[in-house]
Amino acid sequence: MSLREGRLIYEGKAKRVYLISNDELIMEFKDEVTALDGARKEHAPGKGKLTASQTAFFMDYLTKSGIRTHFINWDGDRRIHVRRLRMIPVEVIVRNYAYGSFIRRMPLMKPLTRFTAPLVEFHLKNDGLHDPLILPEDIIEAELASMEQIMEVKSVALKVNQLLSELLSNHGLILVDFKLEFGVNGNGALVLADELSGDTMRILMNGKHLDKELFRMGGSVKELMEAYSTLNSILGLSL
Ligand code: C5P
């Protein structure tokens, strides 16, 4: 299905966003891979289609499982059609195992130690400040969201974790951690937005990353593309 062209309103490291009507957008996934806050950047032909397909697959699955998401449809290539929201500029990270920036701030724990219960973290979306960890109280004081919204964000994030962990585990995969972003629709309801792909999740298959960690660790674009293709074939996503 081809989606209507729209007006470019935002361009980030991995995506472009086009406005197609007052309440609908197109997210276009770029054939680029970046790491270390954009310090390492490479062209990756075919990657946009892989991350768009993964996002469409996970968002569709979550929608069918009762999570309110921004997803409408996928064009079969690099674009997905989504609802326009007022975005909350906070990255919500859910962790099942100690890894990544958690280990950097808590070096007392060994990588890949399983947490007794999943952790939910809030980070301010700000590349210049490297997305610092913030408290729920900071979000409320800065009027980015209300206490009720934060409580709902946390409970939806944990529900998403349960659904995705189970789905991946049924395919023999481990969900280490992932990042979510939320927005609010015209009715004031909280909606899960943005992306869900190997770029925003850590997924292990027999100890091997099927996610962007490969590239962060110095792996090649080819290795990354092979890992994303493996994830797609395990999930039964044909391109
Ligand atoms: O780097 P860190 O350990 O905080 O990342 C936790 C999870 O959030 C990882 O799955 C990573 O891919 C994701 N993440 C992201 N975008 C960011 C920061 C982290 O998708 N800006």
**Looking at residue 200, what is its pLDDT?**
98
Ligand 1 is surrounded, with C-beta below 6 A, by: 91, 93, 99-102, 131, 177-179, 200-202, 212
Confidence of residue 216 (pLDDT cuts 50, 70, 90): very high
Q: pLDDT (tens digit, 9 = 90+) per residue, 23-65?
A: 999 999 999 999 988 889 999 999 999 999 999 999 999 999 9
Q: pLDDT (tens digit, 9 = 90+) per residue, 161-172?
A: 999 999 999 999
Cα(231) to ligand 1 centroid in Å equals 18
Residue 179 alpha carbon, nearest atom of ligand 1: 8
Going by their DSSP bridges, the two strands 86-87 and 174-184 should be labelled as antiparallel
**Looking at residue 130, what is its pLDDT?**
93
Give the CATH fold of the 7-83 domain. Answer: Phosphorylase Kinase; domain 1 (3.30.200)
- Whether 5 has a pLDDT exceeding 90, the answer reads no
Domain at 86-225: CATH code: 3.30.470.20
> Do 7-83 and 86-225 have matching folds?
no
Cα(200) to ligand 1 centroid in Å equals 6
Closest residue (by CA) to atom 18 of ligand 1?
Answer: 179
Cα(84) to ligand 1 centroid in Å equals 23
Cα(179) to ligand 1 centroid in Å equals 6
Closest residue (by CA) to atom 19 of ligand 1?
Answer: 179
Q: pLDDT (tens digit, 9 = 90+) per residue, 184-208?
A: 999 999 999 999 999 999 999 999 9
Please give the average per-residue pLDDT across 76-90, as a whole number.
98
Residue 200 alpha carbon, nearest atom of ligand 1: 20
Cα(63) to ligand 1 centroid in Å equals 22
Confidence of residue 3 (pLDDT cuts 50, 70, 90): low
Please give the average per-residue pLDDT across 100-110, as a whole number.
98
Query: Which residue ranges make up each domain of the chain?
Result: 7-83, 86-225
Whole-number percent of the chain with pLDDT over 70? 98
**Looking at residue 1, what is its pLDDT?**
45
